[in-house]
């Protein structure tokens, strides 16, 4: 049924970069055969799935939205792809994304524009916009996205989905094409909180192949979602972050977004939560800090795309030396936003500027982490259990509206960046419409307390 939907609708939406109907049907048949034989079935046996094209998949084209990887068929599976196979999911295809996950609208893809199923003239968010459009358009029941500065939460918010960025280190990064290694984290995008929790459980857990993977047990999330759905939040302490759309910090926020946010906070109170404002002053600096740290790490991570080891190679005609081939390959293989980030990152890391830019940004990152710790621990243990904010300052904007204005594009990440920089978990759950377009509500929790995000989100569903 999903393959039929893709066939009928994806020409207009453009969610997928690669679909292999035959392979999907074959793996569905294998599940059916195992079922008929009474064989062991994974917990998600037979459920179709879409993967963001940043996830490396054995034998299946993987481009990370870039021309430089066109035609590359990886020789191995990312840990999360392998885990989802073992769980029994059926891969429908790979979804479009901003090139190397750099963007907030999916318009930075080297291949195609993806449309928001709610309004085809609008963007589906980014960088996981292929995944959000696939799920919102019912071209997949759920999907995996990745989030470096908001790329799961913001596309989920603007397409009316649930999207969760796990605690940094709790989902393996092995086999995710690296953008900013200290920030990248994969997570679920789904139509309900329970679905997101089930998908998250299937990919979580320690992985010795990722040196930043946390050796903690797989969190119990579906159970938290089920408990949350009972709607009792008595005693839950909720902090409303002043710096994210609160008094004196409403610049750039749409009135409709703030109205839905305020109503949802009132709903939390009516479910028994104790709500109070919490100031996190360093959050005001998250945007500049992120846009130094992420490009710095990217400039280093993208050095491996040299025309020798993977994908595209330009100008290797026997008359050019290696440096020329590398330069030509990178010139033609990378799009403008990727080049902008490489230049920015290389500059920020260069000797003489390192302390002024990268070093300062790392200090800000520490201050942001401290703001979270202070909010959660409080004085004498009187902290809050979760912090909340809008997910995105605006609803989905028209295709093309921000492509020539990088700063406007970056502003889409205002609310999502603090949790990224601190490595704490954060979920976006739908909280109504503004002008007929979906608005997202963000719930942030302390590291490894992802279950709290699911519980609160389920209560709001």
Among 74, 103, 187, 245, binds ligand GLN (CB under 6 A): 103
Catalytically active residues are 52, 127, 151
Q: Which is nearer to ligand GLN, 15 or 156 (CB)?
A: 156
Q: Are 363 and 372 in contact (CB under 8 A)?
A: no
CB of 120 to ligand GLN, least distance (A): 22
CB of 441 to ligand GLN, least distance (A): 19
- Answer yes or no whether residue 102 interacts with ligand GLN by CB under 6 A: yes
CB of 314 to ligand GLN, least distance (A): 26
CB of 335 to ligand GLN, least distance (A): 13
- Answer yes or no whether residue 418 interacts with ligand GLN by CB under 6 A: no
Cα of 307 vs its chain's centroid, Å: 28
Which H or E run contains 442? strand 437-444
Tell me whether residue 405 is exposed, middle or buried, using C-beta atoms within 10 angstroms of its C-beta: 0 to 12, 13 to 18, 19 or more.
exposed
Q: Which is nearer to ligand GLN, 104 or 299 (CB)?
A: 104
By CB under 6 A, the residues from 148 to 187 that bind ligand GLN are: 148-151, 179
Residues 332 and 313: their CA atoms lie apart, in Å, by 9
Q: Which is nearer to ligand GLN, 104 or 172 (CB)?
A: 104
Choose one: 78-86, 147-155, 320-328, 345-353; the region binding ligand GLN (CB under 6 A): 147-155
Query: How many CA atoms within 13 Å lie on the side-chain side of 397?
Result: 20
In three-state secondary structure terms, 325 is helix
How many residues sit close enough to ligand GLN to count as binding (CB under 6 A)? 13
Give the residue closest to ligand GLN by C-beta. Answer: 151
- Answer yes or no whether residue 104 interacts with ligand GLN by CB under 6 A: yes
Q: Which is nearer to ligand GLN, 93 or 150 (CB)?
A: 150
CB of 179 to ligand GLN, least distance (A): 6
197: left (phi over 0), alpha (psi -120 to 50) or beta: alpha
Would you state the torsion angle of the CA atoms of residues 272, 199, 396, 129, taken in this order, to the nearest 10 degrees? Answer: 160
Q: Are 59 and 16 in contact (CB under 8 A)?
A: no
Dig out the tokens for 397 from the structure.
Answer: 């904007």
Among 78, 101, 244, 399, binds ligand GLN (CB under 6 A): 101
Q: Are 53 and 17 in contact (CB under 8 A)?
A: yes
179-190: string of b/e by CB count within 10 Å (b at 16+)? bbbbbbbbbbbb
Residues 446 and 375: their CA atoms lie apart, in Å, by 10
- Answer yes or no whether residue 132 interacts with ligand GLN by CB under 6 A: no
Among 110, 156, 294, 338, binds ligand GLN (CB under 6 A): 294
Q: Are 231 and 457 in contact (CB under 8 A)?
A: no
Looking only at the bridges linking them, the beta strands covering 437-444 and 426-434 are antiparallel
Q: Which is nearer to ligand GLN, 27 or 104 (CB)?
A: 104
Q: Are 390 and 439 in contact (CB under 8 A)?
A: yes
- Answer yes or no whether residue 147 interacts with ligand GLN by CB under 6 A: yes
CB of 103 to ligand GLN, least distance (A): 5
Q: Are 292 and 182 in contact (CB under 8 A)?
A: no
Among 297, 413, 450, 451, binds ligand GLN (CB under 6 A): 413
Q: Are 420 and 165 in contact (CB under 8 A)?
A: yes
Q: Which is nearer to ligand GLN, 127 or 264 (CB)?
A: 127
Choose one: 99-107, 264-272, 312-320, 431-439; the region binding ligand GLN (CB under 6 A): 99-107
Choose one: 95-103, 219-227, 280-288, 362-370; the region binding ligand GLN (CB under 6 A): 95-103
CB of 65 to ligand GLN, least distance (A): 11
Which H or E run contains 398? none
Choose one: 96-104, 136-144, 228-236, 347-355; the region binding ligand GLN (CB under 6 A): 96-104
Binding site for ligand GLN (CB under 6 A): 101-104, 127, 147-151, 179, 294, 413
């Amino acid at each position: 049924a999903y393959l039929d939907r893709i066939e009928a609708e994806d020409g207009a939406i453009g969610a997928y970069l690669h679909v292999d109907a035959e392979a999907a049907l074959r793996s569905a048949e294998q599940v059916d055969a195992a079922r008929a034989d009474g064989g062991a079935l994974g917990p998600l046996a037979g459920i179709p799935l879409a993967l963001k094209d940043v996830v490396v998949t054995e034998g299946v084209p993987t481009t990370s939205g870039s021309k430089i990887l066109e035609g590359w068929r990886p020789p191995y599976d990312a840990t999360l792809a392998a885990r989802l196979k073992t769980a029994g999911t059926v891969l429908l295809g790979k979804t479009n994304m901003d090139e190397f996950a750099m963007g907030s609208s999916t318009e930075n893809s080297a291949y195609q524009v993806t449309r928001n199923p709610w309004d085809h003239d609008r963007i589906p968010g980014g960088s996981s916009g292929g995944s959000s459009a696939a799920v919102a358009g019912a071209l997949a029941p759920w999907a995996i996205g990745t989030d470096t500065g908001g790329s799961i939460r913001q596309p989920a918010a603007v397409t009316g989905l649930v999207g969760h960025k796990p605690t940094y280190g709790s989902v393996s990064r092995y086999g995710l094409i690296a953008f900013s290694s200290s920030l990248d984290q994969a997570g679920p995008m789904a139509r309900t909180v329970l679905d997101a929790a089930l998908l998250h459980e299937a990919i979580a857990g320690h992985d010795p192949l990722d040196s930043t993977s946390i050796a903690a047990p797989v969190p119990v999330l579906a159970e938290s979602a089920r408990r949350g759905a009972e709607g009792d939040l008595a005693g839950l302490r909720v902090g409303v972050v002043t710096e994210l759309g609160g008094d004196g910090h409403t610049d750039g926020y749409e009135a409709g977004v703030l109205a839905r946010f305020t109503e949802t906070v009132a709903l939390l109170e009516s479910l028994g939560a104790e709500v109070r404002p919490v100031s996190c002053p360093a959050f005001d600096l998250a945007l500049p800090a992120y846009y130094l740290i992420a490009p710095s790490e990217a400039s280093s991570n993208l050095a491996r795309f040299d025309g020798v080891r993977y994908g595209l190679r330009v100008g290797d005609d026997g008359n050019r030396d290696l440096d020329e081939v590398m330069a030509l390959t990178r010139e033609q293989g990378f799009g403008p936003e990727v080049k902008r980030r490489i230049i920015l990152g290389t500059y920020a890391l260069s000797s003489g500027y390192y302390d002024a830019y990268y070093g300062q940004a790392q200090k800000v990152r520490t201050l942001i982490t401290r703001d979270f710790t202070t909010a959660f621990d409080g004085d004498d243990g009187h902290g809050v259990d979760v912090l909340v904010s809008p997910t995105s300052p605006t609803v989905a904007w028209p295709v093309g509206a921000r492509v020539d204005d990088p700063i406007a594009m970056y502003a889409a990440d205002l609310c999502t960046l603090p949790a990224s920089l601190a490595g704490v978990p954060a979920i976006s759950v739908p909280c109504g419409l503004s002008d007929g377009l979906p608005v997202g509500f963000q719930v942030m929790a302390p590291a490894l307390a992802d279950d709290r995000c699911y519980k609160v989100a389920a209560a709001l569903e």
